[in-house]
Amino acid sequence: MIEITLPDGSVKEVENGTSAMDIAKGISEGLARNVLAAKVNGNVVDAGLPITENATLQLLTWNDKDGKSTMWHSSAHLMAEAIEFFYPGVKLAIGPPVKNGFYYDVDFMDYTITEKDLEKIEQKMKELAKQKNEFIRKEVPKAEAIEYFKGKEDPYKLELLEDLEDGSITFYTQGEFTDLCRGPHIPHTGVIKAIKLTSIAGAYWRGDEKNKQLTRIYGITFPKASELTQYLENVELAKARDHRKLGKELDLFTFSQKVGQGLPLWLPKGAALRERLENFLKKAQKAGGYDQVITPHIGSKELYVCSGHYAKYGEDSFQPILTPDEGEEFLLKPMNCPHHCEIFKSRPRSYRDLPVRFAEFGTVYRYEQSGELHGLTRVRGFTQDDAHIFCTQDQVKDEFKKVIDLVLYIFKTLDFQNFKAQISLRDPNDPDKYIGSNENWDKAEQAIIEASAEKELPTVVEYGEAAFYGPKLDFMVEDALGREWQLGTIQVDYNLPERFELEYTGSDNQKHRPVMIHRAPFGSMERFVAVLLEHCAGDFPLWLTTDQVAILPISDKYNDYSQKLLQLLNNYDIRGFVDDRNEKVGKKIRESELNKIPFMLIIGEQEAANNTVSVRQRGENGDIGSMSVESFADLVGKAIEIELAVNV
């Protein structure tokens, strides 16, 4: 007999060799039907696997992350079976579960496959799922496994087998299909009730662009048809808040084929919005002891040779700009740091001056791969809310804390709640990759970790993700479609102070090298606006939004009064416009609502006679009654004050 401890702490005594599924059946048939896999002593395994020792057991269902993954992994096998049915002889590479579903990478040999073929594969999968074929696990000696895939002439599986140890190799079979697989899998295919193959794409074997490109088919499955419907609806909702769509609808930015790809054009409303964001940050930075600087968009090639950027990126980026003078070359600036280093060097610095903080909304140009460009989140010309802090090693931690405060102030003001902070440290296995002394690195890494902990950031630590020149702290948020983007960043740099021979005079009257910290709380104006757009679905906070108020005269008799009102509101720094089109007020309201304008002022006979405004708030509040212009201005002013009065 063995003892099985369940998550609630209760202990069941069962015969040695009892499976998780047996135990589930002992609890209830209904539960057993929902079990997809089991977690035994922390390892996810087949629910049917005999348990041979005392163990903790968690039954995994669709509600568990590991349960979902298991089902999607099994779904990949099911899809492979359907693919082999239509395209016998194709070579299968790998088919794992991912965040939302699964994929299988397939070498289709001489077959061509298009999106239209997905439907028939989907149909076949449904058919196979209905057969409730069991997933049967079999341990296989390595020689036998190699023999099997030699028979199938599958070079990918054979390559995978090379890295596996004899004795640890398992096959899984369901229906007519057998695959090399560690498992675990769901009990049988019948659990898969709803199937959607979502897209088809190219993917390199083992993620290396030197390798052959395979065809990757993405899909997702559910245990209930209604969940698939729900999922598809959510995808549609996410698309509705895609910043590229909203940016067009709200007239914020555009792109032109003639100007060039990845080069955004900010429209008047977008430019005004961006300016408000910049002023918001400038104000906070001024309070934080930053000095604003301005530097040109190009720099002599020598500058980037000195910084090392030319050696690293010269060939793969925008090429030098030539002048009538032979041998003279300039580069579009890919970053602001070298310019700021030269500003630091423009005069001798004393330890009493440190930290020095130079801030600039600096536009930079980077030749991103064409396939990587994406709306405003990945572009070739963009403006960083950049600043460089030059300080002593001992000041690093304190400066980090201050920058974290700044980032948190921005996130809180704009209601970003779901972010994570990634601490990127050295790769302990490759210490020679990094520039700067070990001692300084240790100090800086410790400073970042401590600063993050003291600020109670939700962090993940990634080893080996640090830049060669220093450790960093990045703030990551997800976009509407679940893609993760880096916004704010704080990076320590030991490289540039060295290369530019930056110095300050210490209290000992000796020359010392300052530490440089790069930081950009927004990341870039472009990416930040994109993520912000998706985050609030275009419904910006009152202080930031384009038009705070729409003045809607009921008929053209009240246009004059409406114009006067607009003047009056402008004096209160309230932005808006008069919709004096010859339309009914119902239509004007509808359009203002759709354009996400926070306040509407309905102006008719009563308002004009009494010098008042009838206020309607966007959304559920609706009509909030009549008041004087002063009261309305006060209302707006107070609302903005609350939005901006955020304590970190």
Partner RNA sequence: GCCGGUGUAGCUCAGUGGUAGAGUGCUUCCUUGGUAAGGAAGAGGUCACGAGUUCAAUUCUCGUCAUUGGCUCCA
Under the rule (CB under 7 A), what is the footprint of RNA? 114-115, 199-204, 207-209, 213, 215-216, 244, 248, 255, 257, 260-262, 309, 313, 316-317, 334-335, 366-375, 378, 467, 481, 483, 554-557, 581-587, 589-590, 593-594, 600, 602-607, 614, 616, 618-619, 622-623, 626
Q: How far is the CB of 8 from RNA (least distance, A)?
A: 39
Q: Degrees (nearest 5) of the Cα angle 507, 508, 513? A: 80
Q: Is 322 exposed, middle or buried (0-12, 13-18, 19+ CB in 10 A)?
A: exposed
Residue 343 CA to residue 394 CA, distance in Å, equals 22
**Which amino acid makes up residue 451?**
A
Residue 525 or 602: the one with the smaller Cβ distance to RNA is: 602
499 is catalytic: no
Least distance from RNA to the Cβ atom of residue 564, Å? 16
Q: Is the dihedral of CA 601, 605, 606, 607 positive or negative?
A: positive
- Nearer to RNA by C-beta: 148 or 204? 204
CB 362 within 8 A of CB 383: yes
Minimum CB distance to RNA smaller for 353 or for 593: 593
Active site residue 216: no
The alpha-helical segments, DSSP class H, found in 165-267 are 225-240, 243-249
Closer Cβ to RNA, 117 or 399, answer by number: 117
Q: Which of 241, 357, 380, 472 is catalytic?
A: 472
Contact call for residues 604 and 556 (beta carbons, < 8 A): no
Known active-site residue 606? no
Shortest distance, CB of residue 415 to RNA, whole angstroms? 20
Residue in 337, 341, 391, 536 annotated catalytic: 337
Q: Is 306 among the residues known to form the active site?
A: no
Which residue is it, tokens 């930290």? 355
Smaller CB distance to RNA: residue 412 or 557? 557
Catalytic residue among 154, 242, 386, 579: 386
DSSP sequence for 336-370:
SHHHHHHHHTTS--BTTTPSEEEEEEEEEE----G
Neighbours of 193 (CB within 10 A): 16
Confirm whether 366 is a catalytic residue. yes
Token pair of 38 as six digits: 């089991």
DSSP assignment letter at 472: E
Q: Cβ closer to RNA: 103 or 222?
A: 103
Report, in Å, the least distance between residue 140 CB and RNA: 29
The per-residue DSSP string of 128-154 comes to: HHHTT-B-EEEE--HHHHHHHHHHTT-
CA 577 – CA 600 distance, rounded (Å):
10
Q: How far is the CB of 144 from RNA (least distance, A)?
A: 31
CB of 360 to RNA, least distance (A): 15
Smaller CB separation from RNA, 107 or 353: 107
Of 280, 271, 349, 301, give the one whose Cα is nearest residue 643: 280
Cβ closer to RNA: 169 or 364?
364
Half-sphere exposure for 396 (CA within 13 Å, toward CB): 29
Give the whole-angstrom CA distance, residue 156 versus residue 254. 44
Residue 207 or 324 with smaller CB distance to RNA: 207
Tell me if residue 472 is catalytic. yes
Q: How far is the CB of 160 from RNA (least distance, A)?
A: 16
Q: Is 384 a catalytic residue?
A: yes
Least Cα distance to 83 among 53, 103, 55, 98 occurs for: 103
Residue type, 38: A
Going from the C-alpha of 167 to that of each of 51, 60, 142, 245, the distances in angstroms are 19, 27, 7, 53
CB of 58 to RNA, least distance (A): 30
Say whether the peptide bond before residue 184 is cis (omega within 30 degrees of 0): yes
For residue 195 the two structure tokens come to: 């199937």
Residue in 185, 243, 426, 518 annotated catalytic? 518
As measured in angstroms, the least distance from the Cβ of 574 to RNA is 18
Q: Which of 58, 174, 285, 384 is catalytic?
A: 384
Among 366, 588, 596, 618, the one annotated catalytic = 366
Catalytic residues: 337, 366, 384, 386, 388, 472, 518
